[in-house]
Structure 1
């Protein structure tokens, strides 16, 4: 793994954690490139809709938490596997993918989220 890939992994974690825990403007300032292409259907394209979404989420759910389980880098892509716990006790597993530009800045994002069910059909966890 290259130094750039290691830096991208850490920057993806820092970006996501900073935005998720309440400072999306700073996260964009530090970690996003000249463009930000969003694929999540609930968040508008570009940086301002991203900031607005995470500011609203922080106002509505201030006591949520996130744990980063895995970070994988390949080429200019980073994948994060997270465990989120929300104030009402709901738990989610997310898979986020970030594309970085040549300057090490995030320029594109995809994600999928799944609720952690109370019962599962096997003895494995989602983590």
Structure 2
């Protein structure tokens, strides 16, 4: 497994950019541990199932737009808040990915999302 000297925050953001751009296997090879688990309730908790789902999504949405709004690092945890759109016209969703690292690799992942509504009572917007 290839590693580099970037911060964990930079590694998490790079992983997300790779998978959003369709380079899913590259992202997994570079940043995901062999002992990886995740907590998305719609897929089994292993690396293979989430990787295949990410590949399928990338194939279905080749024009995905991924913009990081904030990334925070504390100890072995990184949180990345982003705006993900399946294409340029899509309103998208606010998504938070929480990573737990061991050394240079991700061993655990949580993801939370909230769709961007067409109209909002909140004048501040979601971002």
| TM-score normalised by the chain length of structure 2 | 0.88
Q: Tell me by how many angstroms 1:15 deviates.
A: 0.6
Deviations 1:97-120 (A, max 9, x none): 00000x221000011111111222
Q: Tell me by how many angstroms 1:43 deviates.
A: 2.7
4+ runs deviating over 3 angstroms: none
The residue matched to 1:15 in structure 2 has which SS? helix
- Matched residues in 2 for 1:26 and 1:122: separation? 39
- Structure 2: which 5+ runs fail to align? 1-5
Which stretch shows the higher mean deviation, 103-112 or 115-124? 115-124
Count, aligned residues: 121
* Equivalent residue runs for 1:24-63 within 5 Å: 24-63=24-63
Aligned to 1:96: 97
Q: Tell me by how many angstroms 1:75 deviates.
A: 1.2
Deviations 1:64-95 (A, max 9, x none): 11000100011110000000122352311001
- Matched residues in 1 for 2:86 and 2:57: separation? 11
* Equivalent residue runs for 1:1-127 within 5 Å: 7-87=7-87, 89-101=90-102, 103-127=103-127
- Structure 1: which 5+ runs fail to align? 1-5
CA RMSD of aligned residues (A): 1.4
